[in-house]
Amino acid sequence: MPNNNLQNYNPEFLARLYHDMVLIRRFEERASELRNAGHIPGFLHPYIGQEAVAVGICAALGKNDFIASTHRGHGHILARGGEPKHMFAELYARQDGYNRAKGGSLHIANIELGIIGANGIVGGGIPLVVGAALAIKRANEADYPGTEKCAGGVSVVFFGDGASNEGSFHESLNLAALWKLPVIFVCENNLYGEFTSQEKHQTIKDIASRSSSYNMTGLIADGNDVLDVFHVMTTAVDNARKGNGPTLLECKTYRHRGHYEGDMAHYRPKEEVEFWMAKDPIDNFGKRLMEGSLMKKEDFQTVEDEIEKTLVDAAEFAGQSPHPDPEEALENVFVESYEGRALL
C-alpha cells in the first residue's frame, strides 16, 4: 500500500508526477497567452492550482479505466494521456483537434484514451460514469466484442463543490452505491462554485460527508499534495476493483485564477488567496523532491525545457492544422446514412 512517504516510491514515478503537474500548469498558461493572441476563439476555464488532483487521481488508473471531466477539464485530459498538440488543435478550432473542431475546450473526449469527455454542464458527467461502470460490469460478466477494452476497469468522474448541489450528483451516488458499481466520485472542492463561495452555496464544509447518506465510503485528500491524492485514490480504486463499490473522494484544493480566463476573481479575500498560493502543489512537491535528493536544481530546468518544447511544437502543430470546411458543420449529427442538411 503506497503512502505519503517519498522513500516508498520509485523515483521515476515521482518525477513523472512532477512532470505531469508542470505540463498542466504550462499548458494552461500557454493556452491563456494563445487566446489573448487571438488563436483560440472560445473561452477557457484554467485548471491552474489544482494540478495535484488530476495527476494524483490519474496516476492510480490503468488502461481499462475511464474518466469523465468538467468544464475545467484540460488538467484531467492531460493527466490521462491527452496529447497537447491535439488539444491545442481543438482549442484553435482546427481539423486535427480531438473533436475535429466541433467541441472545443468544454467537450474534449477520446474514448480510446479512457476519456468520456469534458462537459459543459455542471454535474452533467456524473451519471455518465455510473453508466460506464455498468458497461464495465457487463464486460466482466459477458463475452462480446469490445469487452477487452473495459473489463476489470473502474470509472472516475471529476466535479466541483458546486456540482455537489445538483440532482445528478445525488441520484448518481445513490445508484452507484445501490448497484455497488466500480465508480470513484472525485470532488475537487476549490471552495467556489463559479463566483460563489462554498459557505454561500452549502451548509457543509466536507462534501465527503454526503457519502454517508448513500452508505458509501467517503474519503478526504489534501488536493494540493499529489502523493496524498494518489495514496487515497489507490485505496478507493482497490476497493472498486475488488467489487466493494464506489467511493466519494473529496480533494481540498483551490483555483489560482478566476472561474474562466478573464474573470479577475475580486470576490475572493486577499488573505485566502495568499494562504492557498503558499500551498502551491507544484512548488511544494518540487521542494520535497529536492529535500529528498530525488531531483536536483538542473533537473527542474530540464523538465521546464522539455515541456516548453512540447508546447511550442504543439502550438505550431495547431497553427498549421487546417481550418474545418464550414460544410463539415452539417456532418456527424447521426452515425450513418443521414446527413444533417436534409434531415428533419
Residues forming contacts to another protein in the complex (CB under 8 A) are 66, 68, 97-103, 107, 109-111, 116-117, 119-121, 124, 126-139, 141-144, 146, 149-150, 155, 167-168, 171-172, 174-175, 178-179, 331-336, 338, 340, 343-344
Angle of helix 51-58 versus helix 11-36 axis, rounded to 10: 130
Structural contact between residues 176 and 183, judged by C-beta atoms closer than 8 angstroms: yes
The residue (of 95 and 310) whose beta carbon lies closer to another protein is 95
CB of 192 to another protein, least distance (A): 22
The residue (of 108 and 226) whose beta carbon lies closer to another protein is 108
State the cell numbers at 329. Answer: 458543420
State the cell numbers at 149. Answer: 477494452
The residue (of 271 and 336) whose beta carbon lies closer to another protein is 336
Structural contact between residues 45 and 259, judged by C-beta atoms closer than 8 angstroms: yes
The residue (of 25 and 137) whose beta carbon lies closer to another protein is 137
CB of 91 to another protein, least distance (A): 14
DSSP 141-207: H---TTGGGTTT--EEEEEETGGGGSHHHHHHHHHHHHTT--EEEEEEE-SEETTEEHHHH-S-S-G
CB of 168 to another protein, least distance (A): 5
CB of 166 to another protein, least distance (A): 9
Structural contact between residues 86 and 95, judged by C-beta atoms closer than 8 angstroms: no
CB of 198 to another protein, least distance (A): 23
Structural contact between residues 198 and 252, judged by C-beta atoms closer than 8 angstroms: no
The residue (of 278 and 330) whose beta carbon lies closer to another protein is 330
Helix (H) or strand (E) holding 302: helix 297-320
